[in-house]
Chains A and B, each alone.
Chain A
Amino acid sequence: MTFDAEWLQKTDQELVRLAKDNPDYFGVIMSRYSDPLSRYIRRMSYFNDEDIEDLLQEIFVKIYRNLNDYDQSLKFSSWIYRIAHNHIIDQFRKASSKLKTTSLENNDLVNFLKSTVNIEKEIINRDCLEKIKALIMELPVKYREVLILRFLEEKDYDEIMDILQKPKGTVATLINRGRSLLKEKIQAANIKCY
């Protein structure tokens, strides 16, 4: 799908304004955010590629319906991440089975561990990664979501606050507790990554 070069130069805010009358402008917004959002869905959930595409389509339609609700004082990315996040959580609630696996890719996981529990990239082996994936999925969603946003999506505290709609202090507390909890779980499970 190709878009007019002039359209691609426009800011998110301009595109939002134009998309209200002409949905084609919304295509540019989708092309900007489809990759980051699908990656975020993958990191947060256990869904397969087909499910992720369906979910992404639902999220984009939801974003389009709510274009008038976009608050210009927020970063546009924070606002669409918020809608995506809420939609994913709704899907979790609808899913009857407990989440037992994660779609976190090994590369993602290595970065995640490096940032959260200070395990060096070089010393992590494959077997260790599989065990830690299971531990991450054991973390309550409230910790998992902040850790993913902070260390994989590399969002700052203000953005996480706007995405999760939680006070900044609460976000900081959840990140610290999530890190500590993961460290404790790794120690308790006696997982040695070397």
Chain B
Amino acid sequence: MEEVISRTLNQIKQDNIKPIACWRLEIHNYVFWSAFALMVVISGLSFLFIIHLTTEMDWEVFSLVSKNKLRLVTEILPYFWLLLLAVFLYLSFVNFRFTRKGYRYSNRRLAAIVVGLSVGTGTLAYAFRADEKLDTAFKQSIPQYTLVSNSNERMWSKPEMGLLGGEIAGIQEQGLELRDFTGHMWLVLADEHTMVSPAVVIKPKSRIKVFGQQEKESVFLAREIRPWDTIQVKQFIQFRQHIERIQIQTKQPNQQ
């Protein structure tokens, strides 16, 4: 072995071999940590959009639909975001293993760290209402974004299940002309049994939800009509409660 040591020392001196500079060795580590941070942010954002779509979802629909509830759930799940979350959780997991001490963590512990960081990032962003800001920004800048953003639009685009949503295009004697989210025109019929929410504003360009039954290819019989925006319903309820309070207050002095 003496000879090997002597040969190696000669090689180091003759070839002027030097230890690789620290900064060059650190690049590898920085690259993996930066990639890990980016992946956690992307998986966190995916989780943020899952929360956003879940909270925005029109859960009342499930009380209206009697059959095929499971089918409805499977059709409206935010698959894109779930897939993105799964892919980036996996990539973060693998990436962490390549960091300097990543190998020391057990699979279970590492999975908990990666999931915890992603869920934490998503929840924190949700607390700061980043979902609303990003939703608006993406809608304005990425045309394809609507394909993965509107669970409610997908939910109310199932006339065969009695769910139809869209924008009032016109008002006719027989009923309403409605343009659904694919641009298809419908004639929405109403009869004396049709319940119309007082919060609905029946005028062109007003967006509504119609629960009922598909009669023909482009004809839909309405059983219930609601405004599209839940905020409209909330405002209407608040307004009605306010009126009721005023009425009670005005009655009380009269009774006295």
Contacts and interface: CB of A to CB of B under 8 A. Distances in A.
Q: Do A and B bind each other?
A: yes
Contacts of B184: none
A27 B106 CA distance: 37
Interface in B82-108: 100, 103-107
A97 to B, nearest CB: 25
B25 A30 contact: no
Interface string A130-147: 000000000000000000
Contacts of A53: 3-4
A23 B25 contact: no
Given A26-B9, A57-B8, A71-B100, A1 B2 contact: yes
Interface residues of A, number: 30
A66 B104 contact: no
Nearest to A24: B9
Contact of B104 (A30, A67, A167): A167
Contacts of B5: 1, 27, 30-31, 34, 60
A35 interface: yes
A65 B11 contact: no
Contacts of A64: 8, 12, 17, 19
B250 to A, nearest CB: 74
Given A53-B3, A57-B4, A68 B25 contact: yes
A66 B11 contact: no
Nearest to A28: B5
Given A27-B9, A65-B20, 7 more contacts: A23-B13, A56-B1, A60-B5, A61-B8, A61-B12, A66-B20, A68-B22
18 contacts: A27-B5, A27-B9, A30-B5, A30-B8, A38-B1, A53-B4, A56-B1, A60-B4, A61-B8, A61-B11, A64-B8, A65-B17, A66-B19, A66-B20, A68-B21, A68-B25, A167-B105, A167-B107
